[in-house]
Structure 1
């Protein structure tokens, strides 16, 4: 009986040792951790950029109070912009100043044997912007003050004269901007610009009054700091 009892105890001990060894061989593998979602793009910060596109110049003209016609033409526009955005949730507010060279001009305005050419040489604006961000895609509207330098050249049978004026008016527009990286964004934008009226050659019996508006379509790149 003692031999049987010792054998039983030995068998139980060996079985316990075997189960312990098998448990020790088991390796623990933690559950995989889900990858963190990428952080949403934040539009807050200063930026600098360049743009290029088309300016559609539209002019209405009168001489000594008499209407002498209107015309429109399209030219190139290219320049630079700088601004600052601040994002609150999905709302982005900001301000921007831009300035550009333009080749837009209206030519061959005829009156009493004279021809005139009106060229919009420079165009700029300072605007406030409000937009809505879909992560790295932004749509916005903007509006503010616009300014530009315009020059009129008049050619007559007895000679040529010219006069330049700065116009100040207003602008409003819409645009969309996409962030390719944390620092580089691209934009498409449309703006209507009303530069108001100015009188040229004021010493010539009331002169030539020019009322200028333009439609600007442009694309650009910004570097966000």
Structure 2
């Protein structure tokens, strides 16, 4: 009797093990999905040609002297400035060097008793040297400055081109791979020119503060 019970118990155990094994075999193993690794954004490269626009203020000093009048006279005015720029940059590791030309209309002028002197146009051709913190560039610049000035009096007008020098500092930030924004300060010394057959000499300097946008190709 005990032998029959043991045999029945063993048979039932083997049958249960077979069912459990079959169920386990039906289960499939699905590995966990691999984590998604996002690629780091590419570092911004400043090398290339760019075109842009700018606007700001020209805080301009006008100084005068004449061989016919003792002493000097001076006045100043803050006018609007707006124009365009074009240039090219070369990047070497974090160092960025470049060349740029800009040209702008200005409204800076002084007037008194029928006398008016207006700085009509202002431009420069400069070299730039900067340090890039990825998409942020800080730089210094310097070069040649030029501008058109017109003096108007009750007895006549005279216009001259002035040529001098400029130096400045600025910062430029890349919003995308193509669009950058800048803020900049420049000191401009246009030197002196003689007007009305050397009757009066005008010396013009300006502190220019501007902001702009560039499109980098």
Which interval holds the TM-score relative to the shorter structure? 0.7 to 0.9
- Aligned residue runs from structure 1 range 39-54, under 5 A: 39-54=42-57
Matched, 1:58 2:52: no
Q: Distance in 2 between matches of 1:46 and 1:116?
A: 43
Q: Distance in 2 between matches of 1:15 and 1:135?
A: 65
Partner of 1:101: 105
TM-score (norm 2): 0.86
Q: Distance in 1 between matches of 2:191 and 2:79?
A: 19
User: For residues 66-115 of structure 1, what are the alpha-carbon distances to aligned partners after superposition, in whole Å with 9 as ceiling and x for unaligned?
Assistant: 3331111111111110011121222211111000111101222x7xxxx5
Partner of 1:224: 216
Q: Is the 8 A contact 1:57 1:106 kept in 2?
A: no
Q: Distance in 2 between matches of 1:223 and 1:35?
A: 28
Matched, 1:173 2:165: no
Runs of 5+ unmatched residues, structure 2: 1-6
Partner of 1:214: 206
**81-90 or 190-199: which moved more?**
81-90
Partner of 2:130: 131
- Report SS of the residue matched to 2:46: coil
Tell me how many residue pairs correspond in the alignment. 210
- Aligned residue runs from structure 1 range 7-46, under 5 A: 14=18, 21=25, 25-46=28-49
**28-37 or 146-155: which moved more?**
28-37
Partner of 1:78: 82
TM-score (norm 1): 0.83
Deviation of 1:186 (Å): 1.2
Runs of 5+ unmatched residues, structure 1: none
Q: Distance in 2 between matches of 1:20 and 1:36?
A: 40
Q: Distance in 2 between matches of 1:144 and 1:195?
A: 12
Deviation of 1:20 (Å): 7.5
Larger-gyration structure (1/2): 2
- Aligned residue runs from structure 1 range 124-163, under 5 A: 124-155=123-154, 160-163=155-158
Partner of 1:87: 91
Matched, 1:193 2:192: no
- Report SS of the residue matched to 2:25: helix
Q: Is the 8 A contact 1:178 1:187 kept in 2?
A: yes
Q: Distance in 1 between matches of 2:42 and 2:149?
A: 47
Deviation of 1:31 (Å): 3.5
Deviation of 1:224 (Å): 0.9
Partner of 2:178: 183
